[in-house]
Amino acid sequence: MKILRIIPSMNPEQGGPCQGIRNSIPELQKLGIVNEVVSFDDPEADFLGEDSFTIHAIGKSKSPWRYNKKLVPWLLKHFNEYDVVVVHALWLYHSHAAIKAIQTFRKRHTVSPKVFVMPHGMLDPYFQKAKSRRLKALRNEVYWRLFENKVINDSDGVLFTCEEELLLARTTFANYRPKKEINVGYGIQPPPAYKASMKEAFAVKVPNWNGEPHLLFLSRIHPKKGVDLLIKAYQKLEKKLGKVPQLVIAGPGLEGEFGKEMQLLAAGSPNIFFPGMLTGDAKWGAFYTGQIFVLPSHQENFGIAVVEALACAKPVLISDKVNIWREIAKGNAGIVKEDNVKDTYQMLEDWVSSTEPQKDEMAEAALKVFHEHFTIAQAAKQFLKGINH
């Protein structure tokens, strides 16, 4: 079987969907499945050529909608080389173009690939309800009526990463009638085994780290992620207890307006560090040298970094807006509360006041939950079963 993935960009800084693709393809390769990607990346981009699979970078797109006139002709020329096409993410030109192209292709050919859409949480009602997103919510409503309802309803099926995402998607827009809803699961490659160079690489990125196990937030510095809740809760805990583990807030987005606001908010504490985006040994060093992973997000479809933490035997403190919270709560792999300052503070205090045996027990449970629910091997098999159903 040969699968084509369509996505606006494979730049690792985009996180989420492109990281999910990078996680799943090697495991599918073991099962004899060939995967290729077409994206709107510059063919000269420095991150290209680093992967074990082909990325057809057809050049940059234009406008906020990411329009690219090359995509439809490219698809019409190459559709017959693939058995399955997966469109990753919504609300941009590539999803509309993919459905338009397959409908044209099917008028001319008797045999064509199946086309599935994978929204990656983009049908979550949060995006239509958040006060900070009123204009974008209005835009999405217009796009839904013009294009996106056809993307969802005219594709051969919609692929979801977990049951919670599937159920939430039904509640967001009128005229939501997909032919199939398929929970294909999601997973990650097992992390590399710990080695001393990881700790060293992390220490270089966080020169003021005291060398003791810290609290880790690793995600985009974005309003959706609840970074402000974490900083406020941490400062409150610091004020109450005096000495608390240091907090590392790692991820891209520091240069943006919100990123600058968060650094200003944290300026009162000498124990909050912003090393920017961590990759390779520095990233794994951040996980392995940490005590826990914290993500009080207002919306999180899956949370790859959450699962990476579990895979490193690190308990997670997350909000119940992270869609895999049920598995974590049930498996005692962390602490789950609501996405506000009070609950975020409570999670931190509950963790800090836990006994060492309780912390050890939760660390073991974290690893167990990873193996039971989120390995890439399981996800690859579930994905194949879903698209062949």
Of 179, 131, 181, 177, the closest CA to residue 298 belongs to 131
Confidence of residue 115 (pLDDT cuts 50, 70, 90): very high
d(CA 374, CA 384) in angstroms, rounded, equals 16
Are 63 and 89 in contact by the 8 Å Cβ rule? The answer is no
Confidence of residue 16 (pLDDT cuts 50, 70, 90): confident
Which of 4-18, 44-58, 338-352 has the lowest average pLDDT? 4-18
Provide the β-strand partners of residue 36.
4, 54
Amino acid at 255: E
**Which of helix, strand or coil describes residue 250?**
strand
d(CA 171, CA 159) in angstroms, rounded, equals 16
d(CA 227, CA 296) in angstroms, rounded, equals 7
pLDDT at 93: 97
pLDDT at 174: 94
Looking up tokens 């300026």 gives 267
Alpha carbon of residue 43 to chain centroid? 24
Mean pLDDT of the chain: 95
Which residue segments constitute the domains of the chain, with CATH numbers given?
2-187+376-388 (3.40.50.2000), 196-373 (3.40.50.2000)
Tokens of 274: 């912003």
Question: Tens of pLDDT along 225-238?
Answer: 999 999 999 999 99
- Asked whether the whole model's pTM tops 0.85, one would answer no
d(CA 104, CA 99) in angstroms, rounded, equals 9
Question: Tens of pLDDT along 36-90?
Answer: 999 999 999 999 999 999 999 999 999 999 999 999 999 999 999 999 999 999 9
pLDDT at 131: 87
pLDDT value at 299 more than 80: yes
Of 183, 165, 206, 161, the closest CA to residue 304 belongs to 161
- Sign of the C-alpha dihedral computed for residues 100, 105, 107 and 111 taken in this order: negative
Confidence of residue 163 (pLDDT cuts 50, 70, 90): confident
Q: Would you tell me how many other CB atoms lie within 10 Å of the CB of residue 210? A: 10
Tokens of 300: 């999180």
d(CA 218, CA 237) in angstroms, rounded, equals 20
Long-range contacts of 129-132 (CB under 8 A, 24+ apart): 130/224, 130/298, 130/299, 132/223
Q: List, in sequence order, the alpha helices (H) in the chain.
A: 16-30, 71-78, 93-108, 126-129, 134-143, 149-154, 163-169, 196-205, 227-241, 257-266, 280-288, 304-311, 325-330, 341-352, 356-373, 376-388
d(CA 92, CA 61) in angstroms, rounded, equals 10
